[in-house]
Amino acid sequence: MNTIWNEPEADALNDTRDKATKIERETHKLEKRLCRETGKAIVQYNMIEDGDKVMVCMSGGKDSYTLLDILLKLKARAPIHFDLIAVNLDQKQPGFPEHVLPDYLKSTGVPFHIENEDTYSIVKRLIPEGKTTCSLCSRLRRGILYRVADELGATKIALGHHRDDILQTLLLNMFFGGKLKSMPPKLVSDDGKHVVIRPLALVAEKDAARWAQHRNFPIIPCNLCGSQENLQRKQVGEMLRDWEKRFPGRIDNMSNALQNVVPSHLLDGALYDFKNARATGIADDNGDKAFDAEEFTAPSLPLGHSGVQVIHMG
Residues that bind ligand SF4 (CB under 6 A): 133-134, 137-138, 225, 227
Q: Which of 188, 113, 110, 100 is nearest to 153 (CA)?
A: 113
Nearer to ligand SF4, 61 or 184 (CB): 61
Q: At its nearest, how many Å lie between ligand SF4 and the CB of residue 135? A: 8
- The distance of closest approach from Cβ of residue 122 to ligand SF4 in the complex, given in angstroms and rounded to an integer, is 11
Minimum Å gap between C-beta 171 and ligand SF4 is 20
CB 67, CB 215: distance < 8 Å: no
Minimum distance, C-beta of residue 238 to ligand SF4, in the bound complex (Å): 18
Determine the distance from the C-alpha atom of residue 217 to the mean position of all C-alpha atoms in its chain, rounded to a whole number: 17
Q: What are phi and psi of 261, to 5 degrees?
A: -90, 140
Rounded to a whole number of angstroms, the minimum distance from the CB of residue 168 to ligand SF4 is 15
**Judged by CB, which is closer to ligand SF4: 56, or 110?**
56
Which of 181, 187, 171, 178 is closest to 230 using CA atoms? 171
CA–CA separation, 119 and 121 (whole Å): 6
Q: DSSP of 130-189, one letter per residue?
A: TS--HHHHHHHHHHHHHHHHHHHT-SEEE----HHHHHHHHHHIIIII-------SEEE-
Say how far residue 36 (Cα) sits from the centre of its chain.
14
> Which is nearer to ligand SF4, 124 or 210 (by Cβ)?
124
Amino acid present at 256 = N
Q: Which is nearer to ligand SF4, 138 or 259 (CB)?
A: 138
Q: Which residues contact residue 39 at a Cβ distance below 8 angstroms, ignoring those fewer than 6 apart?
A: 74
140 within 8 A of 123, measured Cβ to Cβ:
yes
Name which of 173 and 227 has its Cβ closer to ligand SF4.
Answer: 227
C-beta of 131: minimal distance to ligand SF4 in Å?
11
Distance from C-alpha of 109 to C-alpha of 116, rounded to nearest angstrom: 21
C-beta closer to ligand SF4: residue 64 or 133: 133
- The CA angle 18-20-22, to the nearest 5 degrees, is 70
Residue 175 Cβ, how far from ligand SF4 at the closest point, in Å?
21
Provide the minimum distance between the beta carbon of 91 and ligand SF4 in the complex, in angstroms, as a whole number. 6
Residue (84 or 225) nearer to ligand SF4, CB: 225
Q: Is the CB of 136 or the CB of 174 nearer to ligand SF4?
A: 136
Residue 73, Cβ density class (10 Å: 0-12 exposed, 13-18 middle, ≥19 buried):
middle
- Identity of residue 220: I
| φ/ψ (deg, to 5) at 27 | -65, -40
